[in-house]
């Protein structure tokens, strides 16, 4: 996918750098176009370094006659070469210019020449956002088929609190990919995904947990939604924005995750258990905060129910994908878990490898299939890995159906 990222001149322009990175992590090429006002807030070099491309800042940036001639049609080339135009932050001024069809600089000219999907993420002061002029402009743009991501509410740079903040860049990136994704091969599917760690309470303020960040599961949820699936994400406590277009069911303990998965699994056509579920829970959590004493203390633990194995027993013809976090014997352990838990595929990764897996942006996994196939995937961002997992899952289902 190829995206043009238009950056307007608002205080949130710095967040567009993170958006550029998030779009690239999701496998999109990114061409950045900045308005003159945006350059007051952030330098083109930041975007050029992130995207490895020249940033377009003006309609008439070139000096030689030949270059001027080619740059005079550059907005047409950029319009034709890209699938989606996302403008973030879309300032009140840009929103007004787009609504009126003014072509005063590269970005506004590009907007007129652009025939692909247009996504606008407005960000401005609350009074400006609420102004009837802005409201009318936004309504006009929506009626024209532009997708407007509403701004978040919160503390604004001007010191007031209200609507006007640019949403989290990761959420915008997911929305862009979901709205403009050319492939809708999961249309009609319901994917139930678990993600993150669980927390097993010792008392009201302490718990036992693990290092899972939830990023792999959230990447899977975003990838599935962008390819047209309805997605139910059962999530342990994580520090991640909710993926765009995904139903999130929040749980804390292994038991709560089990109950949520069992009650929602019947909706699923594909079930993916990427959560790092606690294998043990505290036998008798204290209802009150435990006070310290000089004596040694111990916590008694009971095994938790293995959710994946339970789903495996009742899965029917649903495609069931488990994860295996290993420090050694990757494929053998992946195969063992696949067989004992009745999965169709296990995504195995070496969590001991530096920079990979837990709490990392990237992952390197090996897919162990019930057909006997073993497919190592190269190291890539979790979002790219997520897409590859779905590519192989769809192929696997075809292979399993043609066998049956």
- The piece of 19-27, 68-76, 80-88, 318-326 that touches ligand CTP (CB under 6 A) is 318-326
CB of 269 to ligand CTP, least distance (A): 18
Contact status, residue 375 vs residue 369, Cβ threshold 8 Å: yes
- Residue 13 carries which DSSP code? G
Q: Among residues 91, 199, 304, 370, which is the contact residue for ligand CTP, using CB under 6 A?
A: 304
325 binds ligand CTP (CB under 6 A): yes
Give the nearer residue to ligand CTP in terms of CB position, either 121 or 275: 275
CA distances from 1 to 172, 186, 229 (A): 15, 17, 19
> Which amino acids are annotated catalytic?
158
Give the nearer residue to ligand CTP in terms of CB position, either 107 or 308: 308
Query: Angle 15-25/44-51 helices, nearest 10 degrees?
Result: 10
> Binding marks (x or -) toward ligand CTP, 201..240, rule CB under 6 A?
----------------------------------------
Cα 117 versus chain centre, distance:
19
Count of positions (residues) in the chain: 404
d(CA 222, CA 77): 30
Q: Is 380 helix (H, G, I), strand (E, B) or coil?
A: strand
d(CA 62, CA 306): 64
Within 20-39, which residues bind ligand CTP (CB under 6 A)? none
Give the nearer residue to ligand CTP in terms of CB position, either 169 or 322: 322
d(CA 381, CA 25): 6
275 binds ligand CTP (CB under 6 A): yes
Cβ density class 124-146: b for 16+ within 10 Å, e for less: bbbebbeeeebeebbeebeeeeb
Give the nearer residue to ligand CTP in terms of CB position, either 108 or 304: 304
Give the nearer residue to ligand CTP in terms of CB position, either 268 or 322: 322
88 binds ligand CTP (CB under 6 A): no
- Residue 12 carries which DSSP code? G
- The piece of 13-21, 122-130, 271-279, 359-367 that touches ligand CTP (CB under 6 A) is 271-279
Q: Among residues 50, 121, 141, 308, which is the contact residue for ligand CTP, using CB under 6 A?
A: 308
- The residues with which 104 forms a beta bridge, in sequence order, are none
247 binds ligand CTP (CB under 6 A): no
CB of 256 to ligand CTP, least distance (A): 12
Contact status, residue 35 vs residue 94, Cβ threshold 8 Å: yes
Sheet containing strand 247-250, edge to edge, reads: 247-250, 230-235, 190-195, 270-273, 319-326, 345-350, 365-369, 374-376
> Binding marks (x or -) toward ligand CTP, 328..357, rule CB under 6 A?
---------x--------------------
Q: Among residues 273, 335, 382, 397, which is the contact residue for ligand CTP, using CB under 6 A?
A: 273
What is the size of the binding site for ligand CTP (CB under 6 A)? 14
- The residues with which 33 forms a beta bridge, in sequence order, are 6, 56
Query: Which residue is associated with the tokens 């609504």?
Result: 99
Give the nearer residue to ligand CTP in terms of CB position, either 185 or 279: 279
254 binds ligand CTP (CB under 6 A): yes
Pure H helices in 131-168: 132-143
Task: Using CB under 6 A, list all residues that contact ligand CTP.
Answer: 254, 273, 275, 277, 279, 304, 306-308, 322-325, 337
């Amino acid at each position: 996918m190829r995206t043009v990222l238009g950056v307007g001149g608002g205080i949130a322009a710095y967040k567009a750098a993170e958006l550029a990175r998030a779009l690239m992590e999701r496998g999109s090429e990114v061409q950045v176009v900045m308005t003159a006002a945006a350059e007051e807030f952030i330098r083109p070099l930041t975007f050029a370094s992130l995207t490895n491309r020249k940033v377009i800042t003006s309609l008439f940036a070139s000096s030689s006659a030949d270059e001027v001639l080619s740059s005079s049609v550059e907005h047409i080339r950029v319009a034709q070469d890209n699938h989606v135009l996302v403008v973030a932050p879309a300032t009140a001024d840009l929103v007004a210019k787009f609504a009126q069809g003014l072509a005063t600089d590269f970005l506004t000219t590009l907007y007129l020449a652009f025939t692909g999907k247009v996504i606008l993420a407005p960000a401005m002061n609350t009074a400006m956002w609420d102004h009837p002029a802005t409201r009318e402009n936004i309504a006009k743009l929506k009626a024209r088929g532009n997708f407007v991501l509403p701004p978040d509410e919160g503390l604004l740079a001007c010191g007031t609190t209200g609507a006007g903040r640019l949403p989290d860049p990761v959420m915008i990136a997911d929305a862009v990919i979901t709205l403009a994704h050319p492939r809708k091969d999961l249309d009609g599917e319901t994917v139930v995904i678990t993600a993150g760690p669980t927390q097993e309470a010792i008392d009201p303020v302490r718990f036992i947990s693990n290092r899972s960040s939830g990023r792999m599961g959230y990447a899977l949820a975003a990838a599935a939604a962008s390819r047209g699936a309805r997605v139910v994400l059962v999530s342990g406590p994580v520090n991640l924005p909710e993926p765009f277009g995904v139903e999130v069911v929040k749980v804390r303990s292994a038991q709560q995750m089990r109950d949520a998965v069992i009650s929602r699994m019947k909706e699923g056509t594909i079930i993916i258990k990427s959560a790092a579920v606690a294998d043990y829970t505290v036998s008798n959590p204290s209802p009150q905060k435990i006070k310290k004493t000089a004596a040694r203390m111990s916590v008694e633990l009971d095994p938790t129910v293995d959710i994946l194995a339970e789903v495996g027993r009742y899965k029917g013809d649903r495609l069931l994908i488990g994860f295996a976090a290993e420090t050694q014997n990757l494929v053998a352990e992946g195969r063992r878990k696949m067989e004992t838990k009745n999965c169709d595929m296990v995504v195995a990764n070496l969590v001991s490898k530096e920079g990979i897996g837990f709490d990392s942006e990237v992952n390197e996994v090996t897919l162990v299939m019930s057909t006997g196939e073993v497919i190592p995937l190269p190291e890539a961002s979790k979002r790219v890995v997520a897409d590859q997992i779905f590519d192989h899952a769809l192929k696997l289902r075809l292979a399993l159906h043609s066998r049956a």
